[in-house]
């Protein structure tokens, strides 16, 4: 049965509108508390939030729903999503709830739920909670916001943990950080300054409405300008909740999640810490990454898009490293979710030890032309129900004759069909991606 509320990364939408209207948010808190009460008396939850203006009132409604069903609540205040996951895992909490819409604009928000183990909830658990949310929402209890006081120092516990994993110091290194006016605006600079780096910071003045606005991991020109203007050795951009990171080399070259996976996989292999010589990524990973890993004797397993699916496969295979082209990188030894600050630590360590820049680390990565087109749709239905689209996809795949890839999927958080075409020839990639996108527009376009 398809989920109605939870997408690939929690519940997400426009703040104040269904499913992020007050009644539904309150019901989410009630449902989570009811589920936890079945296993523990007076269960305790941890709530964290990013910097968008709606995060506070959503957190208060969530706290009200939890408390209304007998749960206790602590509030970490502004913290990164991986920080919330870490604190949930090491603390006395049955679950953690992060209020964030990640890379989306400030008008949107979301709810991400982590179990006590620090993992995002599996699909089956989300379906069970959904049923209860919808039942409670229908019951129509009047939402009563809870009172929240920031538990001072919780963010420092996370910062201390990250610093404790550092194998080298960064004295003398010049780093540029774009914090996306998001959850890492204070923690990111503090971490790397603690480890000795000279840090230049941009986009670290959140006002509730400027999160991800022309900055952060999806808008890299801001960071690129900062790297070149300050003569920084390296630069990193975080998204709104800092569970992803994209990098810029000292030369200004952009280094995405695929390149990070390649550099980290080879470093782990050289250190004897890549059992099975396996890395996990998603269907969006570039063919160039797969071929570069093959040359190093490293296999790559693909999963659906979503870092929780990457982590599930990592756990199944015992793989220590996995991630997404978008910058969600998971180091299973240290974290249970994508963590932008941790990824920056590991990548900067590799560059420091090798005595080279990010560009040199991944110079042999040949990136195949890849075109991604988003088509707004009025409905999401399987391709078996859309024969014209399926026929166009088959035509393109036959034309590639195994030398390229076609991927069509629906967004888990927006009414979009995503068309990705990849191959060795840019002109064919462009032509084929547009032909498939046009077929989707004709069949189900909004």
pLDDT digits (tens, 9 = 90+) for 18-33: 999 999 999 999 999 9
Is 335 among the catalytic positions? Answer: no
Phi-psi region of 276 (alpha: psi -120 to 50; beta: other; left: phi over 0): left
What is the reported pLDDT for 31? 96
What is the reported pLDDT for 335? 96
Residue 353 backbone phi and psi in degrees, to 5: -70, -35
| Rounded-to-integer distance, Cα 7 and Cα 418, Å | 15
Residue 403 has pLDDT above 90, yes or no: no
Residue 274 has pLDDT above 80, yes or no: yes
**Per-residue tokens: 205:** 């003045």
Q: 6-153: which CATH architecture? A: 3-Layer(aba) Sandwich (3.40)
The CATH number given to 167-254 is 3.40.120.10
Domain boundaries, the chain: 6-153, 167-254, 256-342, 370-444
**Per-residue tokens: 17:** 């509108």
| Rounded-to-integer distance, Cα 199 and Cα 379, Å | 46
Average pLDDT in the 206-220 region?
A: 97
Average pLDDT in the 242-269 region?
A: 97
pLDDT digits (tens, 9 = 90+) for 342-351: 999 999 999 9
Average pLDDT in the 285-306 region?
A: 94
Considering the candidates 55, 100, 102, 200, report the single residue annotated as catalytic.
102
pLDDT digits (tens, 9 = 90+) for 162-192: 999 999 999 999 999 999 999 999 999 999 9
Residue 413 has pLDDT above 90, yes or no: no
Answer whether 6-153 and 370-444 agree in fold: no
| Rounded-to-integer distance, Cα 446 and Cα 142, Å | 35
pLDDT digits (tens, 9 = 90+) for 60-106: 999 999 999 999 999 999 999 999 999 999 999 999 999 999 999 99
Burial of 37: CB neighbours in 10 Å, binned 0-12, 13-18, 19+: middle
β-pair type (44-49, 72-78): parallel
**Those residues with Cβ within 8 angstroms of residue 132's Cβ, 6 or more apart along the chain or in another chain:** 30, 31, 34, 35
Average pLDDT in the 235-258 region?
A: 97
Q: Could you give the angle at the alpha carbon of 394 between the alpha carbons of 446 and 313, nearest 5°?
A: 85
Residue 264 has pLDDT above 90, yes or no: yes
The CATH number given to 256-342 is 3.40.120.10
Query: For residue 120, which of 389, 308, 369 has the smallest C-alpha distance?
Result: 308
Q: How much is the mean pLDDT over the chain?
A: 94
| Rounded-to-integer distance, Cα 444 and Cα 375, Å | 9
pTM equals 0.90
What is the reported pLDDT for 49? 98
**Per-residue tokens: 278:** 């396996």
Residue 297 has pLDDT above 80, yes or no: yes
What is the reported pLDDT for 386? 85
370-444: what fold?
TATA-Binding Protein (3.30.310)
| Rounded-to-integer distance, Cα 90 and Cα 439, Å | 49
| Rounded-to-integer distance, Cα 53 and Cα 154, Å | 21
pLDDT digits (tens, 9 = 90+) for 365-401: 999 999 999 999 988 877 778 899 999 999 999 999 8
Burial of 316: CB neighbours in 10 Å, binned 0-12, 13-18, 19+: exposed
3-state helix, strand, coil in the chain (%, to 5): 40, 20, 40
């Amino acid at each position: 049965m398809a989920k109605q509320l939870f997408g690939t990364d929690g519940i997400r939408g426009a703040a104040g509108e269904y499913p992020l209207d007050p009644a539904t948010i309150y019901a989410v808190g009630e449902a989570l508390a009811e589920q936890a009460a079945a296993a523990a008396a007076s269960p305790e939850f941890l709530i964290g939030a990013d910097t968008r203006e709606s995060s506070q009132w959503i957190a208060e409604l969530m706290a009200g729903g939890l408390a209304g069903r007998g749960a206790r609540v602590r509030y970490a205040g502004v913290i990164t999503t991986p920080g919330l996951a870490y604190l949930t895992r090491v603390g006395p909490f049955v679950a953690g709830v992060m209020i964030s819409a990640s890379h989306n604009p400030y008008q949107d928000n979301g709810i991400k739920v982590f179990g006590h183990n620090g993992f995002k909830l599996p699909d089956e658990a989300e379906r069970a909670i959904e049923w209860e949310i919808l039942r409670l929402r229908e019951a129509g209890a009047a939402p009563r916001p809870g009172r929240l006081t920031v538990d001072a120092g919780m963010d420092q516990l996370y910062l201390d943990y990250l610093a404790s994993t550092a194998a080298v110091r960064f004295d003398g290194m010049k780093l540029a950080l774009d914090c996306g006016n998001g959850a890492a605006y204070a923690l990111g600079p503090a971490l790397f300054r603690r480890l000795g780096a000279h840090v230049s910071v941009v986009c670290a003045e959140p006002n509730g409405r400027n999160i991800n606005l022309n900055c952060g991991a999806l808008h890299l020109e801001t960071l690129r300008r900062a790297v070149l203007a300050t003569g920084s050795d390296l630069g990193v951009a975080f998204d709104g909740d800092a569970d992803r990171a994209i990098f810029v080399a000292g030369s200004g070259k952009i280094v995405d999640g695929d390149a990070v996976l390649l550099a980290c996989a080879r470093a782990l292999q050289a250190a004897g810490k890549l059992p099975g010589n396996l890395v996990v990524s998603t269907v969006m990973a570039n063919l160039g990454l797969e071929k570069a890993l093959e040359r190093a004797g490293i296999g790559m397993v693909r999963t659906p898009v979503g870092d929780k699916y990457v982590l599930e496969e990592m756990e199944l295979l015992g793989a220590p490293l996995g991630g997404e082209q978008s910058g969600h990188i998971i180091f299973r030894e240290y974290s249970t979710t994508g963590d932008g600050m941790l990824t920056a630590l590991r990548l900067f360590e590799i560059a420091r030890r090798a005595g080279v820049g990010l560009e040199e680390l991944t110079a042999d990565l040949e990136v195949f032309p890849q075109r991604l087109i988003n088509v707004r749709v009025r409905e999401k239905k399987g391709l078996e129900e859309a024969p014209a689209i399926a026929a166009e996809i088959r035509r393109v795949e036959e034309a590639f004759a195994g030398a390229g890839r076609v991927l069509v999927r629906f967004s888990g958080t927006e009414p979009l069909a995503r068309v990705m075409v990849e191959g060795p020839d840019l002109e064919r990639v462009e032509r084929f991606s547009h032909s498939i996108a046009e077929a989707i527009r004709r069949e189900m376009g909004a």
